Amino acid sequence: MREEHVPDERTELDEFTAPELDDAELDSVLEALLLVVDTPVTVDALASATDQTPGRVA
């Protein structure tokens, strides 16, 4: 019979932290996002998708 591994204690997943993007990387990410969406996108939505401030995305 196969035994399943059960952790001793329950652990929480670390919260994901997006890497810091320099201006050129952010421009590339925004360009890629805008190429695949088929409707207008708000600055807030782009900021949320890239984990950046709206001021940085605008």
List, for residues 10-27, the tens digit of each pLDDT value: 556 556 676 789 999 999
Give the number of other CB atoms < 10 A from CB of residue 31: 9
Residue 46, exposed/middle/buried by CB under 10 A (0-12, 13-18, 19+)?
buried
pLDDT digits (tens, 9 = 90+) for 40-49: 999 999 999 9
Identify whether the C-beta of residue 54 lies closer than 8 Å to the C-beta of residue 43: yes
pTM for this model (two decimals): 0.66
**Arithmetic mean of pLDDT over the chain:** 85
Q: What is the pLDDT of residue 20?
A: 85
The arithmetic mean of pLDDT across residues 20-41, rounded, is 95
